[in-house]
Amino acid sequence: MNALERFRQEKDQFFKHDQNSPLAVEQKLVFNNLNYFPENPDLRMEIAMEMIEPPASVNMITSTGDRRNYLHKGQIRFQVQGQEVILQVYVDGFGGYFLPFVDATAPQETYGAGRYLEPEEIRPGVLHVDFNLAYNPFCAYNNRWSCPIPPYENRLKLRIEAGEKKFHF
Protein backbone atom coordinates (compact mmCIF):
# COMPACT_ATOMS: atom_id res chain seq x y z
CA MET A 1 0.00 0.00 0.00
CA ASN A 2 1.45 3.36 -1.00
CA ALA A 3 1.20 6.62 0.98
CA LEU A 4 -1.86 7.89 -0.91
CA GLU A 5 -3.75 4.61 -0.44
CA ARG A 6 -2.90 4.66 3.27
CA PHE A 7 -4.04 8.29 3.56
CA ARG A 8 -7.36 7.46 1.88
CA GLN A 9 -7.88 4.42 4.10
CA GLU A 10 -7.24 6.50 7.23
CA LYS A 11 -9.62 9.18 6.01
CA ASP A 12 -12.36 6.58 5.46
CA GLN A 13 -11.82 5.34 9.03
CA PHE A 14 -12.08 8.92 10.32
CA PHE A 15 -15.35 9.45 8.44
CA LYS A 16 -16.82 6.16 9.67
CA HIS A 17 -15.75 6.23 13.32
CA ASP A 18 -14.50 9.61 14.57
CA GLN A 19 -16.73 11.92 16.62
CA ASN A 20 -15.41 14.85 14.53
CA SER A 21 -16.47 13.24 11.25
CA PRO A 22 -18.61 15.47 9.03
CA LEU A 23 -21.10 12.61 8.64
CA ALA A 24 -24.28 12.47 10.68
CA VAL A 25 -24.87 9.35 12.80
CA GLU A 26 -27.30 7.86 10.26
CA GLN A 27 -24.77 8.45 7.46
CA LYS A 28 -22.03 6.66 9.41
CA LEU A 29 -24.22 3.58 9.73
CA VAL A 30 -24.20 2.99 5.97
CA PHE A 31 -20.86 4.62 5.07
CA ASN A 32 -18.19 2.35 3.56
CA ASN A 33 -15.71 4.64 1.85
CA LEU A 34 -15.26 7.83 -0.12
CA ASN A 35 -14.88 7.74 -3.89
CA TYR A 36 -11.68 8.89 -5.57
CA PHE A 37 -10.13 9.30 -8.97
CA PRO A 38 -7.20 6.93 -9.51
CA GLU A 39 -3.85 8.37 -8.43
CA ASN A 40 -2.54 10.80 -11.04
CA PRO A 41 1.21 11.51 -10.63
CA ASP A 42 1.01 14.26 -13.30
CA LEU A 43 -1.12 16.32 -10.91
CA ARG A 44 1.47 16.25 -8.11
CA MET A 45 3.75 19.26 -8.63
CA GLU A 46 6.18 21.72 -7.15
CA ILE A 47 5.08 25.16 -8.29
CA ALA A 48 6.59 28.59 -7.68
CA MET A 49 3.97 30.97 -6.32
CA GLU A 50 3.71 34.43 -7.84
CA MET A 51 3.37 36.51 -4.68
CA ILE A 52 0.99 39.43 -4.32
CA GLU A 53 2.56 42.35 -2.47
CA PRO A 54 1.06 43.33 -0.22
CA PRO A 55 -1.30 40.37 0.28
CA ALA A 56 -4.94 41.43 0.03
CA SER A 57 -7.74 40.65 2.45
CA VAL A 58 -10.58 38.77 0.72
CA ASN A 59 -14.03 37.81 1.98
CA MET A 60 -15.33 34.53 0.57
CA ILE A 61 -19.01 33.79 0.74
CA THR A 62 -19.90 30.43 2.29
CA SER A 63 -22.48 27.78 1.49
CA THR A 64 -24.74 29.25 4.20
CA GLY A 65 -24.35 32.88 3.06
CA ASP A 66 -21.82 33.86 5.71
CA ARG A 67 -18.49 35.44 4.85
CA ARG A 68 -15.00 34.28 5.84
CA ASN A 69 -11.88 36.35 5.67
CA TYR A 70 -8.77 35.06 3.88
CA LEU A 71 -5.50 36.61 2.81
CA HIS A 72 -4.91 36.48 -0.96
CA LYS A 73 -1.24 35.52 -1.00
CA GLY A 74 -0.53 34.85 -4.68
CA GLN A 75 -1.19 32.63 -7.65
CA ILE A 76 0.24 29.53 -9.25
CA ARG A 77 0.58 28.60 -12.92
CA PHE A 78 0.90 25.10 -14.32
CA GLN A 79 -0.13 22.94 -17.26
CA VAL A 80 -2.90 20.34 -17.41
CA GLN A 81 -3.18 18.41 -20.67
CA GLY A 82 -1.29 21.14 -22.51
CA GLN A 83 -3.45 23.99 -21.18
CA GLU A 84 -2.23 26.69 -18.82
CA VAL A 85 -4.02 26.87 -15.49
CA ILE A 86 -3.84 29.83 -13.11
CA LEU A 87 -5.22 29.45 -9.59
CA GLN A 88 -5.32 31.94 -6.74
CA VAL A 89 -3.84 30.88 -3.40
CA TYR A 90 -5.05 32.13 -0.03
CA VAL A 91 -3.99 31.87 3.60
CA ASP A 92 -6.62 30.80 6.11
CA GLY A 93 -7.10 32.01 9.68
CA PHE A 94 -4.68 29.36 10.96
CA GLY A 95 -1.82 30.47 8.68
CA GLY A 96 -2.06 27.55 6.23
CA TYR A 97 -2.33 27.80 2.47
CA PHE A 98 -5.82 27.31 1.05
CA LEU A 99 -6.63 26.55 -2.58
CA PRO A 100 -10.37 26.27 -3.33
CA PHE A 101 -11.30 25.37 -6.90
CA VAL A 102 -14.05 24.11 -9.19
CA ASP A 103 -13.23 22.23 -12.38
CA ALA A 104 -15.14 20.66 -15.28
CA THR A 105 -15.70 17.40 -13.36
CA ALA A 106 -18.31 19.28 -11.27
CA PRO A 107 -21.15 18.65 -10.69
CA GLN A 108 -21.40 15.25 -12.41
CA GLU A 109 -18.33 13.56 -10.89
CA THR A 110 -17.23 15.92 -8.11
CA TYR A 111 -18.99 18.15 -5.63
CA GLY A 112 -20.67 20.96 -7.56
CA ALA A 113 -19.59 23.77 -5.25
CA GLY A 114 -15.93 22.80 -5.57
CA ARG A 115 -13.08 21.07 -3.82
CA TYR A 116 -10.20 22.21 -1.64
CA LEU A 117 -6.46 21.73 -1.42
CA GLU A 118 -4.01 22.74 1.28
CA PRO A 119 -0.67 23.17 -0.51
CA GLU A 120 2.48 23.02 1.57
CA GLU A 121 5.38 25.42 1.22
CA ILE A 122 8.41 23.21 0.65
CA ARG A 123 10.86 26.10 0.39
CA PRO A 124 10.36 29.86 0.27
CA GLY A 125 7.93 30.72 -2.53
CA VAL A 126 7.53 27.10 -3.77
CA LEU A 127 4.43 25.04 -3.04
CA HIS A 128 3.87 21.30 -3.16
CA VAL A 129 0.47 21.04 -4.90
CA ASP A 130 -0.99 17.53 -5.06
CA PHE A 131 -4.44 17.35 -6.62
CA ASN A 132 -4.60 13.68 -5.56
CA LEU A 133 -5.30 15.17 -2.11
CA ALA A 134 -8.16 17.42 -3.36
CA TYR A 135 -11.09 16.96 -1.03
CA ASN A 136 -14.72 17.89 -0.64
CA PRO A 137 -15.59 20.50 1.98
CA PHE A 138 -17.63 19.23 4.92
CA CYS A 139 -20.77 20.90 3.53
CA ALA A 140 -20.71 18.28 0.73
CA TYR A 141 -21.80 15.67 3.29
CA ASN A 142 -24.68 17.49 4.94
CA ASN A 143 -25.97 21.01 5.53
CA ARG A 144 -24.74 21.28 9.14
CA TRP A 145 -21.55 22.83 7.78
CA SER A 146 -20.72 26.22 6.29
CA CYS A 147 -17.96 26.13 3.67
CA PRO A 148 -16.26 28.84 1.57
CA ILE A 149 -17.25 28.79 -2.08
CA PRO A 150 -14.31 29.00 -4.50
CA PRO A 151 -14.00 32.44 -6.08
CA TYR A 152 -14.69 33.03 -9.75
CA GLU A 153 -10.94 33.16 -10.54
CA ASN A 154 -10.58 29.54 -9.40
CA ARG A 155 -13.30 28.11 -11.63
CA LEU A 156 -11.69 26.04 -14.36
CA LYS A 157 -13.11 24.97 -17.71
CA LEU A 158 -10.85 21.91 -17.81
CA ARG A 159 -10.97 18.65 -15.86
CA ILE A 160 -8.80 17.96 -12.82
CA GLU A 161 -9.08 14.16 -12.69
CA ALA A 162 -7.54 13.61 -9.28
CA GLY A 163 -8.65 13.56 -5.67
CA GLU A 164 -12.00 13.01 -4.09
CA LYS A 165 -15.15 12.47 -6.12
CA LYS A 166 -18.75 13.33 -5.28
CA PHE A 167 -20.16 11.84 -2.08
CA HIS A 168 -23.15 9.53 -2.49
CA PHE A 169 -25.34 8.84 0.53
Domains of the chain by residue range = 36-154
Per-residue exposure over 47-66, b if at least 16 CB sit within 10 Å of its own CB, e if not: bebeeeeeeeebebebbeee
pTM exceeds 0.75, yes or no: yes
> 3-state class of 94 per DSSP?
coil
Each of the 169 residues of the chain gets a pLDDT tens digit; together they read: 799 999 999 999 999 999 999 999 999 999 999 999 999 999 999 999 999 999 999 999 999 989 999 999 999 999 998 999 999 999 988 889 999 999 999 999 999 999 999 999 999 999 999 999 999 999 999 888 899 999 999 999 999 999 999 987 5
In this prediction, residue 63 carries a pLDDT of 92
Instruction: Specify the pLDDT at position 169.
Output: 55
DSSP code of residue 39: P
